[in-house]
Structure 1
Amino acid sequence: MNIAGCIVKKVITTSQDLEALFGTRLQYLGEVDFDQAADLERDEDTIDVYTNSAGCLMVYHVGQSFDISEVDEEIVQFVLFDLANSYFFEHYQQGTLQCRYMTTDDEVLEDEGNDMLQEGDEIAEVVGQVLDEFLQAPIAAQWTELTFKRYAFIDEAEQEKPRLPH
């Protein structure tokens, strides 16, 4: 699997909620399936969002990441990049780093904190567990069947890079 994104323990019901989370304006582009969301050729200026009554899963280009350190909610950012044998996981709770773990070619490059992920854990499995916990539903077993709402960052070239500041 080649996918990057974040899981937020926050209900996102409107595009305004999403804009507040990113601190920038977004334009709704329509619905996409999982294959389109995980496509390595996807536009880096878009995010794909799945929400339910408990939380939110956002998927973005595998080479993209955001500064999530100032998010008020509990949030996990991840990269599952099988093609490059690279995996990344970071967990913040109310702006405090709980865990950051990164491996490339089975070499641990970062290992900070010790809450959700321990050395030797499969990052993809932990991401699935967090997804189920934060969204309070068995999403991980079916996330390839999910439908996402795609949004584009408006005027991103003229703005500072969006960074999930709230």
Structure 2
Amino acid sequence: MLAYGFHAMFPPRAHGAFQLQDTAAMAQFEPIGYVRSDRTEMSVGHWANVESRIELDPIYVKGLAGLGEFSHVVVVFHLDRIPPFDPGKQLARNPRGMEDLAPVGVFAQRTKFRPNPLGVTAVELVAVDDKGITVRGLDALDGTPVLDIKPYIPAFERKDHVRLPAWVDRMMDGYF
């Protein structure tokens, strides 16, 4: 078993009229493994060619059976080094801190500053072995707890007539 807790349980918090009171109903996660990467500090971009290793807890290694047949996977991870979410400052902000872009809400962008610090990235699967996987394009730092790995299946992700605001192309320039 991994000796890592998700801050045990997030304490109840009040935001407006909504207040979480039942801590038993709150989500609690345990990592299945950790990211191993040369990236140790957050950077704004250039993640496309970064190769990372996801080392799994040995109890989950059998879960990799058949994964090598896929070219891509989706990695769900805990943004464990991000400061606690501050609704007053982070509920709406300029995408990637670009002052010339109008502020948009946290749910309208893929910022790391989120009410629940979860990262989700589709990446290229480079290799699968008896200890974990190697991926390319994962925007997570060395030591980041990994919560789940899913095969990338386009039918689940594909949506027709996708609409994006104009600022997204500018914001994403150089990220991957």
> For the superposition of Structure 1 and Structure 2, which TM-score range results when normalised by the shorter chain?
under 0.3
| TM-score, reference length from structure 2 | 0.25
| TM-score, reference length from structure 1 | 0.26
